[in-house]
A = this chain, B = another copy of it.
Amino acid sequence: MSKNVVVRNIKRAASAEIDQLARLGAATIHEAIGRSGFLGPHIRPIQEGSRIAGSAVTVSSHPGDNLMIHAAVEMCQKGDILVVANTSASSHGMFGDLLATSLLSRGVRGLVIDAGVRDTAELRQMSFPVWAAHVSCEGTVKASPGSVNVPVVLGAQVVKPGDIICADDDGVVVVPRTEAATALAAAKTREAKEEETRARLQAGELGLDIYGLRQRLTDLGVRYLDSPPDR
């Protein structure tokens, strides 16, 4: 069994693909990979306007204990994003500006955590982007064992070490490492198609016509009335 282990070496996707995914944004990528991978609306950015992607270094931690986050720092390298899950829910502020200083010095791009963070003013000043479930002063101990670079669950998604994390103002999406190229291609296709649709919508065309939805409305029994029905 793989309890309480720190895995040193993980596979990462190609950085060229990761960097292109960053630009495309979380919602587009979520659609491109078949409407999957979204960590849920409870994990929110503490800043506005960041859009990043990177390789997941994962932490399975005890609520209220950030010992394993310290252990994880050593496993991080340039281009990574730290992803922290807890064995049960809590709002503790498990991460602050000192850990961010340490991660920034290693080239880590940001943090995703299904718990709380603190020192948020400082984190914004440092331009270290964070997506978290809570903001909380409540501090932690460094006393409980856990794991680094094992599969973890955030929201309703499994994040495996080396998976690609895409995060922006809409939240966080995980792309399985082995699907990076497929996801990138699909996202680019979608982006191009959206660009074209956007131009048509701006010109006044309707989604009903562009997507051919009028027949569907009829098939579903939707009726058009000139004025409100009685009741």
Q: Which residues in A have some Cβ–Cβ distance to B below 8 Å?
A: 1-10, 25-27, 30-31, 34-36, 38, 40-41, 44, 48-49, 51, 62-64, 67-68, 70-71, 73-74, 85, 87-93, 96-99, 101-102, 104-106, 116, 118-121, 124, 134-139, 141-147, 149-151, 153, 156-158, 161, 168-171, 173, 176, 178-179, 194, 197-198, 201-204, 206-208, 211, 213, 216-217, 220-229, 231
Chain copies in the assembly? 6
Contact among B48, B73, B221 for A206, CB-based, below 8 A:
B73
State the Cβ distance, A183 to closest chain B Cβ, in Å.
11
Whether B217 and A145, one on each chain, are in contact in the complex, defined by CB atoms closer than 8 angstroms, is: yes
| Known contacts A64-B64, A105-B203; 11 further A-B pairs (Cβ under 8 A) | A2-B231, A27-B93, A30-B139, A41-B134, A44-B135, A74-B206, A98-B197, A98-B198, A137-B173, A145-B222, A151-B158
The docked-state distance in angstroms from the alpha carbon of A178 to that of B231 is 9
Whether B2 and A229, one on each chain, are in contact in the complex, defined by CB atoms closer than 8 angstroms, is yes
Q: A9-B227, A51-B121, A64-B62 are in contact. Are A207 and B136 (CB under 8 A)?
A: no
Are B139 and A31 in contact (CB-based, < 8 A)? yes
| Least CB separation from A173: chain B residue | B137
- Tell whether, in the assembled complex, residue A228 and residue B27 are in contact, meaning their CB atoms are under 8 Å apart: no
